[in-house]
Amino acid sequence: MGRKKSVIPLVDKRLTRKQQRFVRELVSQDGMITARQAAMNAGFSPSSASSRAHEMTNPNICPHVCREIAEYRDELDRMYEVGYKRHIAQLARLRDLCVANSAWSAAVAAEHRRGQAQGNIYVNKSEVRHGISIDQMDRETVLEEIRKLKDAGFGEIIDVTPEPPEEEEGAETSQHRSGALEPDQDQYSEIEDD
């Protein structure tokens, strides 16, 4: 019987240069290229790139490469994570860069986004409408809705239609209603006397 070879556990095995390039290509261009393309970019032959990519992404065949892929993804996630402080600082750098290049609208936009990220500077209001508002109804529909409210037991509906104001006698009333205000002549005579 043959002697058993001493094998380094694959998890602890070091990556070859091609495997390292494959990991960098695959993770840094995640979603933009296929694993086959990453293998070809790493230097593997186009004829064997598909099988090499499959092997290197299979944890049963190459667990050391899969571990390195996961570690590099975590490293990039930490490097590019969006945290509050980092986000605010980056927006400030962008604003300053825009000001230095006289890109005023971009600088204002960056500062506006910083304020929005703060959360208490700008208030974002939105109106959500459900159904049809009374402004969109015709008279018959409004009267029908009022009838439904009465039938539903909402009691007596009070008419709050304002009554026209009573006419007052005298010349002052017509001046006030016309909207024109006449200056008081006595007021100006005091100023001229001084």
* Tens-digit pLDDT profile for residues 44-69: 999 999 999 999 999 988 999 999 99
Residue 41: partners with Cβ closer than 8 Å, 6 or more residues away:
21, 22, 25, 33
Asked if residue 100 lies in contact with residue 93, where contact means CB atoms within 8 angstroms, the answer is no
Residue 56: partners with Cβ closer than 8 Å, 6 or more residues away:
19, 22, 35, 39, 62, 65, 66
Q: Which residue has the tokens 């240069």?
A: 17
Confidence class of residue 183 from pLDDT cuts 50, 70 and 90? Answer: low
Class of the domain covering 10-80: mainly alpha
pLDDT tens, residue by residue, 103-157: 999 988 888 888 887 776 776 666 666 677 777 888 898 888 888 888 887 766 6
As a whole number of angstroms, the distance between CA 91 and CA 82 comes to: 12
pLDDT at 20 over 90: yes
pLDDT at 19 over 80: yes
Average pLDDT across the chain, whole number: 79
Residue 136, strand partner residues: none
What pLDDT is recorded for position 22?
95
pLDDT at 6 over 50: no
Enter the pTM of the model.
0.45
Residue 66: partners with Cβ closer than 8 Å, 6 or more residues away:
56, 57, 58, 59
* CA angle 33–39–41, rounded 5-degree value: 75
What pLDDT is recorded for position 152?
81
As a whole number of angstroms, the distance between CA 25 and CA 173 comes to: 86
